[in-house]
Chains A and B, each alone.
Chain A
Amino acid sequence: MERRLRKELTNLIKDPPDGIVVDPDKISQNITEWTVDVKGAEGTLYQGEKFTLQFKFGSKYPFDSPQVMFVGKHVPEHPHIYSNGHICLSILSDDWSPALSVQSICLSILSMLSSCSEKKRPPDDMFYVRTASKNPKRTQWLFHDDTV
Chain B
Amino acid sequence: MSSSDSTFEGSDKKESDNSSASNYECNICFDVARDAVVSMCGHLFCWPCIHRWMTARSGRMTCPVCKADINEDKFIPLYGRNTTDQQDPRKKVPPRPQGQRQESENTNGGGFNLGENFSMSFGIGAFPFGVFSTFNVPDRQGHYGHGHTHGPAPNQDEQFLSKVFLYVAVFFIFWLILA
Report which A residues bind B (CB closer than 8 A). 3-4, 7-8, 15-19, 21, 37, 39, 48-50, 62-63, 74, 79-80, 88-90, 94-95, 97-101, 112, 122-124, 128, 132, 139-148
Is B146 within 8 A of A94, CB to CB?
Answer: no
- A-B contacts counted at CB < 8 A amount to 117
Report which B residues bind A (CB closer than 8 A). 1-3, 5, 7-8, 11-17, 27-31, 43, 49, 52-53, 56, 64-65, 67, 142-154
Is A15 within 8 A of B150, CB to CB?
Answer: no
Give A7 to B146 CA distance when docked, in angstroms: 30
- Taking CB atoms, residues of chain B closer than 8 Å to A62 are 28-29
Is B148 within 8 A of A99, CB to CB?
Answer: no
Give A141 to B155 CA distance when docked, in angstroms: 12
Is A124 within 8 A of B145, CB to CB?
Answer: no
Give A106 to B15 CA distance when docked, in angstroms: 15
Of A8, A17, A18, A50, which one neighbours B1 at CB under 8 angstroms? A50
Give A38 to B29 CA distance when docked, in angstroms: 25
Known: A3-B29, A99-B64. A63 touches B53 (CB 8 A): yes
Question: By CB atoms of chain B within 10 A, which of A17, A63, A99, A141 has the most?
Answer: A99
Closest residue of A by beta carbon distance from B154: A142
* 10 cross-chain CB contacts under 8 A: A50-B1, A88-B148, A97-B65, A99-B64, A122-B148, A124-B148, A139-B150, A142-B147, A143-B147, A144-B149
Known: A49-B1, A99-B65. A18 touches B14 (CB 8 A): yes
